[in-house]
Amino acid sequence: MYHNTLFCNPAWKTNLIMDKTKLSVLSISALNIMTNASIAPVLVYFDQAFPEVPLTNIRLMLTLPALFIILSSLITGSIANKMPKRSLLFIGLLLYLIGGIGAGFCHTFTAILGFRIILGFGAGVTNTFSTVLISSFYTGDERMRMVGNATLVSHLVAVLAPLLAGWLAKFAWRYAFGIYGIALIVWIITFFWLPEPQSGNHGIIKNKEVMQGMNMVYIIAFNASLFMVSFYIFPTGIAHLINAREFGESQIAGLAASFSTLAAALINIIFTHVMKFFKKYVWSFAISLLAGGFYLTACTPNTLLLFTGIFVSGIGTGILFPAIMLRTTQYAPQNDASRSVSLVVAGSNLGQFLSPLFYSLLQRANTEMIPIYFDFRSATFLYVIALFISLLLLKFPLVRVQPLPTIEINT
């Protein structure tokens, strides 16, 4: 009797559908960071597999997808309202799967780069939809929780995927690309459990209000790009910093990267509480953590302080990036959330792609210091400037906009 009552309860069925939708949305988020991070441990094996390929070209395996994520995310944002979102997502997942595991079947390095380009096109779609779907299905505090949970999932996968890929690469470097098979699991989950998002239709929104919202989106996208330009010296340079300070072998560098990601994942557990507590000061708080963490990382005399700095900056990253994506969904016009999110995704990946070039230009001002020391201290200085600007803008904002009537601004 109780059994029949439970399964005939409409509320129970509704909750089950909602849980399946959440699982689908969160599964897409698992693909975000692992696009590049998961394959990083394999680069050392390519020196042996392709001895004729310069090291700079081998590193293209990490940076090349980011360039095509920019293009793909912008295309996704422009066509998302012109075709079923599920269909577009499935195309992206298929490209992600083919581009990811396809590289493991290649016999030339050029072919591998070709599949990495396909992976970038797929990731541009999935990265955009991981936030667009949250904006489509959830509002208010529930949206805030989902943004935090989505970032938590992506960071946890980013911790585990490189470890698994590195273990597989010990048998053969080709096996490491099998880690991208997770896209097939995500495809199955979303095919059966993800409903088609309804088109936003919340009444008439004035053109002026839409323009105000989009102006904020452009500013957020620019900030996301600057953040990645400054931050990306960490994943690309932490191994060199540890080596220069003679703190340990490459395993220490791998542990440092995982430690940063773990710190970001842990703070994402209480992301909603952090957002509610700091409110409009949350960006300034996150930037202050990044400035302090990078200072310890750049200037520390011992391993303990190094990992303390890495942990603190990891917390800052774990707050700032999801806060950026949350603000994007809050300011984005409801009927154009896909384009708004795609602009921010493109901006962050553009910053990632430009970061090595930016620090290379900065080196022209370095006359005495060891280059990697100079890079990390430059990043610290940039975050101090960013902190000052963020506090100044709280007092004198560049753009004054009223909250759009269809969104919730928690400031």
> Which residue type occupies 223?
N
Q: Tell me, what's the pLDDT at 400? A: 52
Give the whole-angstrom CA distance, residue 225 versus residue 345: 9
Residue 119, pLDDT > 50, answer yes
Q: By mean pLDDT, which of 265-274, 338-347, 395-404 is the weakest?
A: 395-404
Q: What is the pLDDT of residue 370?
A: 86
pLDDT of 166-218, one tens digit each?
A: 788 888 889 989 999 999 999 999 999 999 887 654 444 456 666 777 888 89
The residue among 343, 334, 328, 325 whose CA lies nearest residue 137 is 334
Interhelix angle 233-244/207-231, nearest 10 degrees: 20
Are 193 and 25 in contact by the 8 Å Cβ rule? The answer is: no
What is the token pair recorded at 12? 């129970």
CA 91 to chain centroid: 20
- 373: tokens are 């020391």
Could you read off the pLDDT of 135-146 as tens digits, one per residue?
Answer: 889 988 899 999
Q: How far apart are CA 155 and CA 151, in angstroms?
A: 6
Q: What is the pLDDT of residue 8?
A: 52
The tokens for 250 are: 């490459």
280 CB neighbour count, 10 Å cutoff: 11
pLDDT at 97: 97
User: What pLDDT is attached to residue 263?
Assistant: 93
Per DSSP, the residues of 357-391 read: HHHHHHGGG-SSS-HHHHHHHHHHHHHHHHHHHHH
Contact between 276 and 262 (Cβ < 8 Å): no
Look at 94-108, 169-183, 280-294, 323-337 and tell me which has the smallest mean pLDDT: 323-337
pTM, two decimal places: 0.82
The whole-number average pLDDT for the span 145-159 is 90
| pLDDT higher than threshold 90 for residue 11 | no
Q: Give pLDDT, residue 407.
A: 38
Q: Which domains, and CATH codes, for the chain?
A: 10-199 (1.20.1250.20), 205-411 (1.20.1250.20)
User: Does residue 175 contact residue 169 with C-beta atoms inside 8 Å?
Assistant: yes
Burial 160-192 (b: 16+ CB within 10 A, else e): bbbebbbebbeeebbebbebbebbeebbebbee
Print the SS3 string covering the chain: CHHHHHHCCHHHHHHHHHHHHHHHHHHHHCCCCHHHHCCHHHHHHHHHHCCCCCHHHHHHHHHHHHHHHHHHHHHHHHHCCCCCHHHHHHHHHHHHHHHHHHHHHCCCHHHHHHHHHHHHHHHHHHHHHHHHHHHHHCCHHHHHHHHHHHHHHHHHHHHHHHHHHHHHHCCCHHHHHHHHHHHHHHHHHHHHHCCCCCCCCCCCCCHHHHHHHHHHHHHHHHHHHHHHHHHCHHHHHHHHHHHHCCCCCHHHHHHHHHHHHHHHHHHHHCHHHHHHHHHHHHHHHHHHHHHHHHHHHHHCCCHHHHHHHHHHHHHHHHHHHHHHHHHHHHHCCHHHHHHHHHHHHHHHHHHHHHHHHHHHHHHHHCCCCCHHHHHHHHHHHHHHHHHHHHHHHHHCCCCCCCCCCCCCCCC
Average pLDDT over every residue of 209-233 = 85
